[in-house]
A and B are shown apart, each in its own frame.
Chain A
Amino acid sequence: MGKPLATIVSAGLSKFGRREGLYGRELFAEAAKEAYDRCPNLIPKKDIKALFVGHMGESYEHQGHTGPTLADWAGLLPVQATRIENACASSGVALALGVSAVFSGMYDIVMVGGVEKMTHRTTSDVTEFLAMASDFPFEQWHGITFPGLYALMATAHMHRYGTTEEQMAMVAVKNHHNGALNPKAHMQKEVTLEKAMSSRVIAWPLKLYDCSLITDGASCLILTKPELAKKFTDTPVHIIGSGQASDAIGLYEREDITTLKAGKLAGQEAYNKAKVKPQDVDIAEVHDCFTIAEIIAYEDLGFCKPGKGGSLVEEGATEIGGKIPVNTSGGLKSKGHPVGATGVGQAYEIYLQLTGQAEKRQVEGAEIGLSHNVGGSGATATLHIYRRG
């Protein structure tokens, strides 16, 4: 197994959901407070030397320049603070940069995180803001929405491999089941296959229950050098693999739209660094912005062969108790998808699982975890692999 690149000593997550009357920076303070409370030996203002935060859209709250703003609300001024925008992979990238900063020796202790406040805006405004993660002159200009891009992938996957609308709905059923066990999830309720299948069409073949939730939320992690971790916690989680790759912003420019090449390449890079194989992974949080994305992720990350993602969920292999539990948190589908907060929010779930704090959804004996965060229709992907310390 690979050597730790950096070590998580604490983590925090705001409650996800409709957080009416709260501004994004206030949600970030909520997440930071949880991380500080978990780590009493840490003096944030003195020990934390850099903050990397994912934040996708200034349009939501008419607020740009969010790096220092969030540093202020987290009580970290005058720390160096940087906002990262890589669409829905913004905080996955923040995490990758935080890992680099620690691994390089530039800083001993850093905070990474992310935030998005979305639910106060109308669906059509949010549809427009999210579409900015796609190619404006050729996709948005011709009426292609963000769900529309994943719908184009779904149609192609169905056509090539025989993946069915039922199999996609099964991803939603599983993730809602898990979300119902997560007190911080946006939607803590089960959904039946019938209800998912008969929900209204958003972008055929994707229906309402194939789409992740527009959510408010924030997330953060505190990372340090592996040799310093014991000073702050008895239950460290080591990051042993980190990968990131890019692809053309336009879905139409890609060679094959039944796979996300950036996701595959980020995965290979992280697996190589971690010296881990897909079958060694005990638990995974993957980017299920739409149900088809989770099916494609199974294939891209090597949990099954290309085209077999639909059968993998149908067989129950990705449920809690299955061969490879995926999205125990409820995923973006049920825990919610505050875009900038998502990547680090996934890492938070892996942290809970590997430290035995996932309560009702705990996967027994989980040692190796993975998180997979995608931006846009796949122009960015990051992958991180974790080992219980």
Chain B
Amino acid sequence: MKMAETFPFTIEQFYKFVSERKLMAAKCKKCGTMLLPPRPMCTKCFSSDLEWVELRNKGKLLTYTVIHVSSKQFESLIPYAVGIVELEDGPKLPGMIQDVEPEKISVGMSLEVDFDTTIPSEWPTWPRYFFKPS
């Protein structure tokens, strides 16, 4: 497989896929463990025989909060909701929940992934994914 050479199993590469509107995880070919964040080695069986798999952009909200005091970077968005979503394919990811009033958010609700592909000019040059009601 040339895949690993072209697309290393790194956080940087995860975000390159996000800029292409794709949510990708590394999967261990030996034991099947899904690695998100992706990493250079399977931390369950220690194999480095991995592959990138595209995840379905749907999931359920496990928990959430509405942030009223943030660091400077996010002050213009206050109040904003963030949550942890369990994706249909298994891995869990945290992120902002947009396009919904905070009062209408509830644990267990179905959400889908969307992308803000704006790339910052300074490190970290990562775009963002976010969640919205499906």
Contacts and interface: CB of A to CB of B under 8 A. Distances in A.
Interface in A152-168: 152-156, 159
B94 A204 contact: no
Interface stretch (A36-44, A82-90, A137-145, A266-274): A137-145
B31 interface: no
Interface stretch (A120-128, A225-233, A317-325): A120-128
A253 interface: yes
A200 B67 CA distance: 12
Nearest to A150: B65
A204 B128 contact: no
B70 A127 contact: yes
Interface residues of B, number: 34
Contacts of A151: 65, 67
Contact of A142 (B37, B82, B102, B107): B82
Interface string A244-280: 0000001111000100000000000000000000000
A147 interface: yes
A204 B94 CA distance: 16
A257 B77 CA distance: 26
Given A124-B72, A128-B71, A143 B66 contact: no
A374 interface: no
A378 to B, nearest CB: 14
Given A138-B37, A138-B93, A252-B94, A143 B83 contact: no
Nearest to A155: B63
Given A137-B126, A251-B94, A252-B84, A204 B65 contact: yes
Contact of B84 (A131, A137, A206, A251): A251
A250 B94 contact: yes
B69 A152 contact: no
A147 B70 CA distance: 9
A201 interface: yes
B11 interface: yes
A137 B102 CA distance: 24
A124 B70 CA distance: 7
Interface residues of A, number: 35
A141 B130 CA distance: 11
Output the residue of A123, A139, A205, A252 with the most chain B CB within 10 A: A252
B41 interface: no
A279 B95 CA distance: 40
B63 A203 contact: no
Given A142-B82, A142-B128, A204-B66, A155 B107 contact: yes
Interface in A96-151: 123-124, 127-128, 131, 137-145, 147-148, 151
Interface of A: 123-124, 127-128, 131, 137-145, 147-148, 151-156, 159, 200-206, 250-253, 257
Interface of B: 11, 15, 37, 62-75, 77, 79-80, 82-84, 92-96, 102, 107, 124, 126, 128, 130
Q: List the 3 shortest-distance A-B pairs measured between CB atoms, nearest first.
A: A151-B65, A128-B71, A156-B63
25 contacts: A124-B71, A128-B73, A137-B15, A141-B124, A143-B73, A143-B80, A143-B82, A143-B96, A144-B67, A147-B69, A148-B65, A148-B82, A152-B63, A152-B82, A152-B84, A152-B94, A155-B63, A159-B63, A159-B107, A200-B68, A203-B65, A252-B92, A253-B92, A257-B63, A257-B84
